Homo-oligomer: A and B are copies of this chain.
Amino acid sequence: MLAPLRPDHRELLAARETGRSLPAPFYVSPEWFQHDVDEVFSKQWLFVAAEAEIPEPGDFVTVNFGTQSVIVIRADDNTVRAHHNVCRHRGARLITEPRGATGTIVCTYHSWTYDADGHLTYADAQDSGFDRKCFTLRSVHVRTIAGLVFICLADEAPTDIDEVAEIVEPYLAPHNLAQAKVAKQTDIVENGNWKLTMENNRECYHCNGHPELLNVFFPIWGYSSTDTVPDRLAPVFNRYRISTAELTEVWDRYGLPHRNIFQLDTRPTGFHIEREAMDLAGESFTLDGSLACAKLLTDDLPERKLGRVSMHLQPNMWLHITSDHGLLFSVIPIAPDKTLVRTTWLVHRDAVEGVDYDLNRLTNVWEITNQQDADFVALAHQGISSPAYLPGPYGPSEVLVEAFVNWYITTLRTNMGVAAAEPGTAPMDMGSHMAGKAAAS
């Protein structure tokens, strides 16, 4: 069905040099963008929504990836289902609203009607031989983890999602996101390739460009011990160590796991999870670090100062959770140079706007930060589009960027059946976890 991989693409994929940013075609070529859609976004688990967006049976969101559209809907049995948003009659898009609640899914065009499980329940004026059972909506894999909804568009989804869930649920579940409510959700379109969006997320080497966010971050990225920390950073590193020691006691007291787990480029569903202290008041993502929401996420963790849980998951999400709110990010490629970044702020279901939290104060720092990041991504895309661009070196503080790129290259190689030019340089064998992968040629 598919055309064979172009020889120059095969070569490019085989030859990628570690420790440097990718060659330009990966970021700017429409053909590589299609590879990303076909081999990454159509095969991996993707974070698409919070369960809090669809609390009741019949609640739905639609998620659009390029030309694909998926209905994520809560069924009567309270489980989450996902269906392709395409009528089985003549293909009309069924739901155009981004979110809503409905008893049945009715096609506007000729009134074909489906239930939340996707079964065709009505189709007017058909011959007696017409069998409704042949026209169930095409379903999509769906999986929830601690209140996060993931889908996979492949026929067979990567199976390691279960292992990942087992590891990360103990970190996430205590924060009760599944029972939270959406305080705000924003979409911005960045003028750059989705991988530049992810790379930008995966380092804080650029965080001098985020003066508002920087208030609550300890700017010690790239330094692992006092030995290597430059003198100017010694005070902040010390503050970081004290704060971490204090918080570790708190975390242990509540049985909250806090080991830094780094599996970003060693499995199909690559991820990283950690708990970190924060600077200033150390409570939340505000200008002074104090709470943004007076009502904490859960009564079971009655501590204002909990630091943050941060998780990064390949290919398209990251999150931060403080004591008072959760902050979810999902990334959707739109075009080689256009990427949607969706940010969702979650607070306790019973928190009241204007009483427990001021919406502007809750969202202010990350709305500013998102716009700054969008500017950085646009600059990177502009420069990389020049024929004069050469892949440049990652420094010590860009280790998560390298891990993302590494995961990306390995995933493409695995899914497209391309071996590394120098055997042994691949950092993982992802094949054993990977369902539905292309046969190696």
Contact = CB atoms under 8 A, between A and B. Distances in A.
Contacts of A388: 68, 84, 86, 138
Given A126-B395, A393-B89, A396-B127, A379 B96 contact: yes
A439 to B, nearest CB: 20
Given A88-B390, A125-B205, A383 B94 contact: yes
A29 to B, nearest CB: 12
A380 B90 contact: yes
7 contacts: A67-B387, A85-B386, A87-B392, A93-B383, A108-B209, A125-B395, A135-B393
B396 A67 contact: no
**Majority DSSP secondary structure for residues of A touching B:** loop
A127 B398 CA distance: 12
A86 B389 contact: yes
B109 A376 contact: yes
Closest 5 CB pairs of A and B: A84-B388, A67-B385, A93-B383, A93-B382, A91-B384
B67 A386 contact: yes
A417 interface: no
Nearest to A389: B91
A386 B125 contact: no
Given A68-B386, A91-B386, 13 more contacts: A67-B386, A69-B383, A86-B383, A87-B392, A91-B384, A91-B389, A92-B382, A93-B383, A96-B379, A109-B376, A123-B395, A125-B396, A127-B395
Interface string A68-94: 110000000000000011111111111
B127 A68 contact: no
Nearest to A20: B90
A244 interface: no
Given A68-B388, A376-B92, A387-B68, A109 B382 contact: no
Interface of A: 21, 24, 28, 42, 67-69, 84-94, 96, 108-111, 123-127, 130, 135, 138, 199, 205-206, 208-209, 221-222, 375-376, 379-380, 382-393, 395-397
Instruction: Output the residue of A85, A208, A386 with the most chain B CB within 10 A.
Output: A386
A205 to B, nearest CB: 5
A206 B69 contact: no
A221 B386 CA distance: 42
Contacts of A205: 110, 124-125
A30 B388 CA distance: 21
Contacts of A135: 392-393
A206 B86 contact: no
A293 B384 CA distance: 44
A86 B24 CA distance: 12
Contacts of A138: 388, 390
Instruction: Output the residue of A68, A93, A96 with the most chain B CB within 10 A.
Output: A93
Contacts of A42: 387
Nearest to A200: B109
A88 B92 CA distance: 46
Contacts of A376: 92, 108-109
A382 B222 CA distance: 46
